[in-house]
């Protein structure tokens, strides 16, 4: 195509100076650039087997831009027709799905406005001219090709010395000194005595002062600050995730680095604090203290030191007990109030072996697991789970799956079995049965299993019932066979009385990262709803060792349909095209696609769930289970050992890596491969490659497992490209971490999403009936209690480095204004 002379008869109406002229030149150049990018990418996509829309559209844009640059108004007609073809193609792919339409039509519509603003460059009304017939003919053919081909493929030290009044003794479990075990279940009433509300982990309160009808009156009544904010060395590593306890008018919170503070639960006034002085280098993946445990020593005199005590684990692997009244160390516990949890672990370094979850105390035994930092080495600290006397701190038993014959500490010079699956999250317990339910993770290396031992493959990603008196397994149920996807059980199990056709059955509800929710008889581990072993993909680097089937729950599941090319997303056709290309470049065969080294593989759901550590909540009165969950893929790839070594990837015990190096992947030392994980499958803009919503909240009928309602959770106000908040109050459904609280008032209280809000939701309808802005990220679980006839809802919004929300140190209480 050649440019027309400036004064030819075909071009006499085109202005050659002024703002209108230069705007027309800018728009023409823009169309040429956009068209070249879309055309080149579209050709690549067709070669990969993807949609035919982008190539002809790119050609049309290049032609339209060339026409405008040559002063021919046919370029406006051509772009307009291309825009109409784009609308038709977008509707064909996604219908009237607003999130699906956005990247397909929003940017082209903005460009359409730009093109129409070029009209003043032409003195006469733009219309087809005889002299431009050859351009109209070419344009029409290109548009028809774009429309037709587009439809081819669619898709520390205590600081207070004054003792406080003794909290009531009727709270978490104690060993009966007469020899009979204390089988009391410490259910929440006016208090919130245990993480998860009770040992059962239901996150339910019988308090009903606050209801859907009056929740609008809820207001902030006090705030206190822990003072624990990240130093320069700890910047980008804080994720407190704390849920406080409340007993007898005293609220107990712990900060990111394990500082425990007692405050007056009615006023927020600090009473005492204890700082364990945890060093920054002890921070593993994140500085986290999900909670503490409260324990009453059986038959202790009320004013006796440490008659009631707070016990918790620290990031530097200590189990500490302090007086609940004064914050002073309990001298009769361990070594002057502390137990060294690294005993018997073998080689470790700060940040590799840490405790981030509260101990579960049942029948006087404090059951403790630990977090072993992911992806470092096969020769990692053990995943042993131990039970300690909650009064003396003495080791009562240790469950080491590699040595089932042992019940105590390893012999002198030996260690607990290295690299075994660990319990980094919170256990649940049935004091009446005397069982504690351990949600186990994966072996030390997540994405390669060739060197795992048989007992690791037997117990990885399993729920294990342990007899708390002996430390011996009673039964176990595996949720993933030969787990190569980091699908560890992050959620605390929830114990319920499940109504069935044969009567009420004591059950354990087990949420999972892959989205399946299993309902098991908690006495035997047998499924109460069929669990189907379904065929899953094979291949990858370990085709002979992969399990040919995986257990699918028929009770309830949160996973979504298989991804297709048309599920790819972005803020414009360009980044959607980029994601489509990545989709076709990767190995993806649906759920449980095996890890690959020659190309990326798509893991969907990603390792953040489904359900993660926030767990679920159950209202036993209405029979409703509430689950907030994530819906995002990961985009991963194994890396050969030589390549990983060249990059400088090395495990934590071999020295520190710069952030630039550590961001390239996890070393998985001892295996043939390192791993690079793109969590959430993010674009360079920070947006995700899959279509929203990314987070939901769902109500499920407890008896049947059927969905009652499902809503997106979280607005787009804090989300946008390059971390720029969009300020759009649209319920996009954001990634979320943290759990729900349900109350007898018919409400769900939940934060968790990345928009820094605490919400109250009507459990019957899913409608948001109240919300409050938080000063930092709400990646935690709220709790509730009553003092002097007034119900309080409390949350500790500490933010989260992984979720990229603002870090804070506040604990905030909401209640009705006092008359």
Annotated catalytic residues are 486
- The answer to whether 378 touches 284, Cβ cutoff 8 Å, is no
Q: What token pair was written down for 719?
A: 């989300």
d(CA 339, CA 509): 32
- The C-alpha R_g of the chain, in whole angstroms, comes to 30
Burial 190-219 (b: 16+ CB within 10 A, else e): bbbbbbbbbbbbbbbbbbebbebeebeebe
E-strand stretches of 307-422: 308-313, 318-323, 338-340, 353-354, 360-362, 365-368, 371-372, 385-389, 395-399
What six digits make up the tokens of 456? 């690791």
Distance of alpha carbon 783 from alpha carbon 738, whole angstroms: 12
In Å, how far are 458, 481, 545, 548, 649 from 454, measured between CA atoms? 6, 12, 12, 17, 28
Residue 561 and residue 146: Cα distance in Å, rounded? Answer: 29
User: DSSP string spanning 229-254?
Assistant: ---STTTT-B------EEETTEEEEE
**Phi/psi class of residue 358: alpha, beta or left (left: φ > 0; alpha: ψ in -120 to 50)?**
beta
Distance CA 573, CA 106 (A): 9
What phi, psi does 456 have (nearest 5°)? -65, -45
**Could you tell me which of 743, 765, 739 has the C-alpha nearest to residue 751?**
739
Cβ–Cβ under 8 Å, residues 390 and 176 = no
CA atoms within 13 A on the CB side of 738: 40
Distant-in-sequence, close-in-space partners of 688: CB < 8 Å, separation ≥ 6: 569, 632, 680, 681, 682, 694
Q: How far is CA 113 from CA 27, 83, 117, 118, 761, in A?
A: 10, 11, 6, 9, 41
What is the C-alpha separation between 313 and 282, in angstroms, rounded?
13
Question: Contact, 341 vs 313, CB < 8 A?
Answer: yes
SS3 state of residue 592: coil
Quick check: 172 and 188 in contact, CB under 8 A?
no
Q: How far is CA 500 from CA 271, 392, 507, 528, 701, in A?
A: 48, 42, 11, 9, 12
Tell me how far CA of residue 772 lies from CA of 216, 217, 334, 714, 749, in angstroms. 10, 11, 43, 13, 11
Q: Residues, the chain, total?
A: 819
* CB neighbour list of residue 96: distance below 8 Å, 6 or more residues apart: none
Q: Tell me, rounded to whole angstroms, the distance of Cα 659 from its chain centroid.
A: 22
- Cα-Cα-Cα-Cα torsion 638, 643, 644, 647, nearest 10 degrees, comes to -130
Are 465 and 522 spatial neighbours (Cβ–Cβ below 8 Å)? yes
Residues 692, 102: contact at Cβ < 8 Å? Answer: no
Beta strands at 318-323 and 810-815: parallel, antiparallel or unpaired: unpaired
Whole-angstrom CA distances from 667 to 181, 487, 642 are 46, 19, 11
């Amino acid at each position: 195509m050649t440019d027309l002379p400036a004064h030819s008869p075909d071009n006499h109406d085109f202005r050659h100076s002024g703002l209108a002229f230069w705007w027309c030149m800018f728009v023409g150049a823009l169309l040429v650039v956009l068209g070249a990018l879309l055309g080149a990418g579209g050709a690549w996509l067709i070669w990969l087997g993807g949609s035919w829309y982008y190539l002809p559209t790119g050609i049309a844009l290049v032609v339209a831009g060339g026409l405008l640059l040559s002063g021919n108004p046919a370029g406006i007609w051509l772009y307009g027709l291309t825009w109409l073809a784009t609308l038709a193609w977008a509707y064909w792919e996604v219908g009237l799905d607003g999130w699906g339409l956005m990247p397909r039509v929003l940017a082209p519509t903005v460009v359409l406005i730009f093109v129409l603003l070029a009209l003043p460059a032409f003195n006469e009304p733009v219309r087809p001219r005889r002299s431009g017939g050859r351009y109209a003919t070419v344009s029409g053919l290109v548009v028809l090709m774009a429309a037709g081909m587009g439809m081819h493929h669619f898709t520390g030290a205590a600081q207070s010395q004054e003792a406080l009044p003794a909290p009531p003794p009727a709270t978490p479990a104690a060993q009966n000194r007469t020899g009979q075990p204390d089988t009391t279940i410490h259910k929440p009433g006016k208090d919130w005595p245990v993480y998860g509300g009770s040992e059962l982990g239901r996150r339910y309160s019988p308090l009903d002062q606050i209801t859907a009808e009056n929740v609008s009156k809820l207001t902030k009544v006090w705030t206190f600050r822990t003072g624990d904010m990240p130093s320069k060395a700890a910047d980008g590593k804080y994720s407190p995730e704390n849920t406080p306890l409340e007993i007898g008018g005293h609220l107990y919170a712990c900060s990111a680095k394990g500082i425990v503070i007692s405050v007056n639960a009615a006023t927020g006034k600090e009473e005492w604090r204890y700082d364990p002085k945890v060093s920054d280098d002890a921070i593993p993946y994140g500085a986290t203290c999900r909670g503490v445990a409260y324990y009453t020593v059986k038959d202790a005199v009320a004013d006796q030191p440490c008659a009631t005590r707070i016990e918790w684990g620290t990031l530097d692997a200590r189990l500490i007990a302090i007086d609940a009244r004064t914050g002073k160390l309990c001298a009769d516990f361990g070594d002057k109030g502390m137990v060294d949890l690294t005993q018997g672990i073998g080689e470790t370094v700060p940040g590799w072996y840490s405790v981030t979850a509260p101990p579960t105390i049942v029948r006087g035994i404090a059951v403790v697991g630990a977090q072993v930092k992911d992806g470092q080495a096969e020769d990692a600290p053990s995943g042993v789970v131990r039970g300690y006397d909650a009064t003396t701190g003495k080791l009562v038993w240790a469950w080491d799956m590699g040595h089932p014959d042992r019940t105590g500490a390893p012999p002198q010079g030996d260690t607990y079995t290295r690299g075994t699956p660990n319990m980094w999250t919170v256990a649940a317990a049935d004091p009446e049965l005397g069982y504690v339910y351990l949600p186990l993770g994966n072996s030390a290396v997540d994405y390669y299993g060739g060197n795992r031992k048989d007992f690791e493959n037997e117990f990885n990603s399993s729920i294990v019932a342990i007899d708390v008196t002996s430390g011996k397994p009673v039964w176990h149920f595996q949720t993933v066979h030969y787990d190569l996807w980091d699908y560890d059980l992050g959620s605390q199990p929830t114990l319920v009385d499940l109504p069935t056709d044969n009567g009420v059955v004591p059950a354990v509800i087990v949420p999972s990262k892959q989205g399946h929710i299993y309902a098991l008889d908690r006495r035997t581990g047998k499924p109460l709803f069929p669990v189907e072993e379904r065929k899953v993909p094979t291949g990858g680097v370990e085709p002979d060792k992969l399990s040919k089937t995986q257990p699918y729950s028929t009770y309830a599941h949160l996973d979504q349909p298989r991804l297709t090319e048309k599920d790819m997303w972005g803020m414009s056709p360009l980044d959607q095209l980029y994601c489509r290309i990545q989709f076709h470049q990767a190995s993806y065969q649906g759920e449980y696609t095996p890890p690959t080294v020659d190309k990326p593989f798509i893991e969907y759901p990603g390792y953040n769930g489904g359900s993660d550590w926030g767990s679920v909540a159950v209202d036993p009165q209405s029979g409703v289970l509430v689950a907030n969950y994530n819906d995002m893929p990961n985009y991963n790839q194994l890396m050969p050992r030589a390549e990983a070594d060249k990059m400088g990837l090395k495990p934590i015990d071999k020295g520190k890596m710069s952030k630039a190096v550590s961001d390239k992947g996890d070393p998985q030392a001892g295996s043939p491969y390192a791993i690079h994980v793109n969590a959430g499958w993010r674009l360079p803009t920070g947006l995700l490659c899959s279509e929203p919503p990314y987070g939901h909240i769902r109500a499920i009928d407890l008896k049947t497992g059927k969905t009652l309602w499902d809503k997106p959770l979280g607005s787009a106000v804090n989300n946008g490209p390059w971390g720029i908040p969009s300020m759009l109050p649209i319920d996009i459904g954001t990634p979320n971490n943290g759990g729900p609280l349900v109350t007898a008032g018919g409400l769900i209280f939940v934060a968790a999403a990345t928009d820094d809000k605490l919400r109250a939701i009507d459990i019957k309808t899913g409608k948001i009936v109240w919300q409050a802005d938080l000063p930092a990220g709400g990646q935690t679980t709220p709790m509730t209690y009553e003092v002097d006839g007034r119900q309080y809802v409390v949350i500790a919004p500490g933010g989260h480095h992984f979720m990229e929300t603002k870090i804070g140190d506040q604990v905030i209480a909401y209640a009705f204004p006092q008359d």
